[in-house]
Amino acid sequence: MHSSAVAALLEPLSRPALIGWLREEDPARLEQLWQAADEVRQAHVGGEVHLRGLIEISNFCIRLCAYCGLRAPNTELIRYRMTEEEILACAQQAHALAYGTVVLQSGEDPLLSRELIARVVRRIKQSYPLAVTLSLGERCAEDWAAWREAGADRYLLRFETSNPQLYAKYHPPRGSDRRSRIEMLRELRSLGYEVGSGVMIGIPGQTYADLADDLLMFRELDLDMIGVGPFILHPRTPLAESDFRVFVPDGEQVPANELMTYKTIALARLLCPRANIPSTTALATLNRWRGRELGLVRGANVVMPNLTPPRYRVLYEIYPNKACIQESADACHACLRSRIENLGRPIGRGPGSSPNYQARYSN
Ligand code: SAH
């Protein structure tokens, strides 16, 4: 039996209701939010926790994103780019660990050419029954079409914030490309990718109303995958300078904390019941002890064990003190597996596409 509060949560959530939940502090009310999100997760994507092997293939980046430690002007960072053979070795490891998906992620690195990525995708798809997710930043439609042609299944591109002023300030455009990330997500969808996006929680200047709008945008875009995590300040970025930050009136700024991340995960689950939603590393960074588990019982159904060779992993520093950067892939796997088993949830098998995507292409 549902309490009436949980039942009310299963109705479509309005913008004021979302803002109310994001501001909610009462533990008993929040317990109802977690319960509703957990029930909706179970009903729509089941108990399985899908593992996606993350391979951070390059930390070179030509962009100036104000939040990210990989930004081009960060000359302190030692840059690396994995070779084709190194990437293939990680994919082999993913397969050996029975993962159904690999995620290739990088800074915006033009030397990851259209041809190179197409070849890597083709080789992975020919060698292993893995789904391939790409998260290589903003590229032209021709690159995305070529990679889809080569067999890539999914693309992740967070829109970061739906507030256009914040987005413009923190994410300077490059060259003459004026496509918004929202437009790019629509391009990716039209190419037949399973599409993922998301936002950072608590970037300076983000209000509760902004975060509610982000959540409504997830629904409007009908996302197949939703990744959200707390903003973590990197000292070598413009956001470390207080005169660069956008300030909003007292009481309006969303805090970049753990509780706000759980609320956002839970509300994303209620708005997009069939999406795949990871319990992210940024969340585990704020609570190494229980962050991943709490994400998984408050709406999430995916975790992304890191397969990047440790010598590179330490250099993929989008924010400092990232959780799990020292462990080998095997140690990372063993740790996550026992955490999931302790929750009493089965580990997903196969590619684990969102039922949302499956429904879109089933007739
Ligand atoms: N270049 C790719 C991948 C970026 S890293 C792209 O732009 O899509 C993946 C995500 O890390 C970003 O989308 C962003 O949401 C997140 N991120 C970047 N800097 C961060 C920070 N300081 N704190 C928390 N998350 C951050």
Which string of DSSP letters, residue by residue, matches 159-181?
Answer: -B-S-HHHHHHHS---TT----H
8 Å CB contact between 187 and 148? no
Residue 271 clears pLDDT 70, i.e. is over it: yes
Instruction: Look at the chain and report how many structural domains it folds into.
Output: 1
**76, two tokens:** 């302190």
Residue 153 clears pLDDT 80, i.e. is over it: yes
Span 19-34, mean pLDDT? Answer: 97
Angstrom distance (rounded) from CA 221 to CA 216: 9
Q: Which atom of ligand 1 lies at the shortest distance from residue 108's CA? A: 1
Beta bridge partners of 339: none
| Mutation test residue for ligand 1: of 214, 313, 318, the one with most atoms within 8 Å of CB | 318
Residue 1 clears pLDDT 50, i.e. is over it: no
Phi and psi angles of residue 249, each rounded to the nearest 5 degrees, phi first: -55, 155
Q: Which atom of ligand 1 lies at the shortest distance from residue 318's CA? A: 19
State if residue 208 touches ligand 1 by the CB under 6 angstroms criterion.
no
**Which strands make up the sheet holding 302-303, listed edge to edge?**
225-230, 194-201, 154-156, 131-135, 101-106, 50-58, 302-303
How confident is the model at residue 2, as a pLDDT?
62
Angstrom distance (rounded) from CA 124 to CA 160: 29
Residue 151 clears pLDDT 90, i.e. is over it: yes
How confident is the model at residue 159, as a pLDDT?
98
How confident is the model at residue 329, as a pLDDT?
85
How confident is the model at residue 9, as a pLDDT?
76
Distance 28 CA to ligand 1 centre (A): 33
| Mutation test residue for ligand 1: of 158, 179, 244, the one with most atoms within 8 Å of CB | 158
| Three-state secondary structure call for residue 359 | helix
- Give, to the nearest 10 degrees, the angle between helix 15-23 and helix 258-271: 150
State the residue range of the domain holding 102.
3-360
State if residue 312 touches ligand 1 by the CB under 6 angstroms criterion.
no
The rounded Cα 340 to chain-centroid distance in angstroms is: 19
For residue 315, the tally of other CB atoms under 10 A from its CB is 17
> What CATH number should be reported for the domain holding residue 143?
3.20.20.70
Share of the chain above pLDDT 70, in %: 98
State if residue 295 touches ligand 1 by the CB under 6 angstroms criterion.
no
Type and span of the H or E element at 261: helix 258-271
Distance 280 CA to ligand 1 centre (A): 12
Between the CA of residue 305 and those of 122, 229, 288, 325, what are the distances in Å? 23, 16, 14, 11
**332, two tokens:** 């990372």
User: pLDDT band at residue 304, thresholds of 50, 70 and 90?
Assistant: very high
Least confident residue range of 11-20, 46-55, 136-145, 323-332: 323-332
pLDDT tens per residue across span 69-91 = 999 999 999 999 999 999 999 99
Is 130 exposed, middle or buried, given 0-12, 13-18 or 19+ CB atoms closer than 10 A? Answer: buried
Distance 229 CA to ligand 1 centre (A): 9
